[in-house]
Amino acid sequence: MPSTLKRSPEKAQDTYAETLDSAVEQYGDGERAHRTAFSSVKHSFEKVGDHWEPKAKKGPSDAKAAGGRDSKAKTAEGVDANASKKHLMELAKRLDISGRSRMTKAELVDALQKANERSTRKARSK
């Protein structure tokens, strides 16, 4: 189980584990099965710092998730890029991202991704 999920609610862990089991049966144990499991998690959860939290509204979190496996779109790496700018601003405030009040929605998504990466690195180094 990935460390970010170990620090997340049990429902997120269960979603990942159940989807991974099913994906391993279909695709074999490998990267595709793990990507499928994370995709399932990102449908109901968003990454906030070093863990996953339930989203207010279920659905694809970014253009990559909406487009599927063959999509050329970029992933937002767990940030719910489809959320409102207000929601993204609230998360940026929680993660103490400076300059957030002047950021566009796309800049907020990028800043949240970077803040999440920093938080995860810090949690893993403990």
E strand or H helix that includes residue 14: helix 10-27
Contact 41, 65 (CB under 8 A): no
| pLDDT tops 80 at residue 120 | yes
45-61 pLDDT, tens digit each: 999 999 999 998 899 88
Lowest mean pLDDT among 2-6, 66-70, 79-83, 114-118: 66-70
9-27 pLDDT, tens digit each: 999 999 999 999 999 999 9
Contact 48, 72 (CB under 8 A): no
For 28-52, b/e burial (b = at least 16 CB within 10 A) is: eeeeebbebbbbbbbebbbbbbbbb
| pLDDT tops 80 at residue 68 | no
Q: Give 3-state DSSP helix, strand, coil % of the chain, rounded to 5.
A: 60, 5, 35
The whole-number pLDDT of residue 67 equals 81
